[in-house]
Structure 1
């Protein structure tokens, strides 16, 4: 680990202003950043500690939605009675995501900003466009079993590792930030993470110094059926090969609403409006679910070791829809 300067922030505005210089990173729980610093994948010149900011509350709004502070630990969010009752897909995703020790330290904001677990990103002896732009992508043609099949580019096939972010994508979360100049903005979850394109080293649309302060969830749909299904190599806290966060409403025997987000498939939590459009208004059944699954993987591309993810994604979606609707 290289030497770095350290500063503790007293307010979100101070934190943002202190981090405007390139080479500065925020640190809270540190469950991802410290590992990357030890391996010298990340070598920040300064860390701004935001762990003691007063952003650790979960508040229910008058509209029935919830506002989650960026410093809320994952354990607290997963165990919150309002979240368990009204957003069970989020609680289940968090519990599937890591050990209890990690959930106690990991924060809501930090979870959204996790970096990929691609083997080559972590190995500084290998080329990686995400770590060193322009150096090449070792995963294409290399060992890519855990990597992306959707939204890839010839520069990067990394996946986003968060389980929580997949659930928040299905719930249409909004991310609230403060920028280095003190301005605040609200970013729809759909726009927050980027696909790799020709700039895979940039994970989100955040500006330098921009700090996540809260995440807002809209009021929960009445009668929504929630599920989080995660397929992984071992049950003991492995990253997803494929995951599905689903919120389904069924009225009068037909699917009235479908919100489906996927993990383990792309550089960001993946959501395809066409998949949901196929389902809405239809009677649940295997043929319908197979049509939705075909739409999900219509543009999928395997890279050898991860070819199996294409049929696995189909089966995982079909099984999730069958469980939520009873349609066989």
Structure 2
């Protein structure tokens, strides 16, 4: 069975002085971004991702949420109204609902809730130390019940779940830390920081390698510059500079090699995403005093992930090409100091070598 996930956000935020909790930032991210990551890391991920909000649509679009629904009623009737909008909009049989103020989820949440529905239940609701009505999995068949309760003013989510005989699914105590008041912010921030410190994004929670899902990210202009060098005998450098190498223009061929390599990065680095590059440039600077050639490669794209690996791969292959063309006369050449010098674009913005 296909499942859509719906994050409930963009409400009144009455307990936080009217702040839209979905956009509240903790550890450098908004709460909805933390929720999205928790959903993407599920052992059984949802097939679609939706957001329910009644305001701040532009901000949510900028965060990469392509599917946004809003209540049919303008008077903030609460989570049941968001659930109605979600059930009406999604194209799947099942809807997983989570609130934006629970940014940490067990990675088997959907898997365990789904087991109850596969056993015949109309709905399943998460329970740890207490019942969590806003964390539930619903069949499309409950939509008429949702609409009727909204029309008759029966807005309490827990009463709705009782009415459809939702099955309770037990999770360990503390599985769903909730951010309801300002005093909850500091402990939540500490938990998020502790959870994500040192996590490598190319490994899932079971330690298996995977290609990072960037489908939710917004496209932006991205640029990376990598630098490295090759050291050689003075006579080798003179041969390259004078154009006397019998194989031809060494640096010209290395330039072409850099461009070709940048376009094949995803074939060489297992977990890289294939990118449509918009620009690749290679520059070679000879240093006769130290008998070396410095290579600088710049790559650019408009996309959902960065071009650092393309720049580093292009740089490495350019330097290897110089070695290959000159090894007959100087096998002692040394390639080194390959590093990323600068990157721009994406959520992390501008970075330069030497920054933390």
The answer to which structure has the higher helix fraction is: 2
The two structures share one fold, judged by TM-score above 0.5: no
User: Comparing both chains, which one has the higher relative contact order based on Cα–Cα distances under 8 Å and sequence gaps of 6 or more?
Assistant: 1
- Give the TM-score normalised by structure 2: 0.24
- Give the TM-score normalised by structure 1: 0.25
The answer to which structure has the higher strand fraction is: 2
- Of structures 1 and 2, the larger Rg is shown by 2
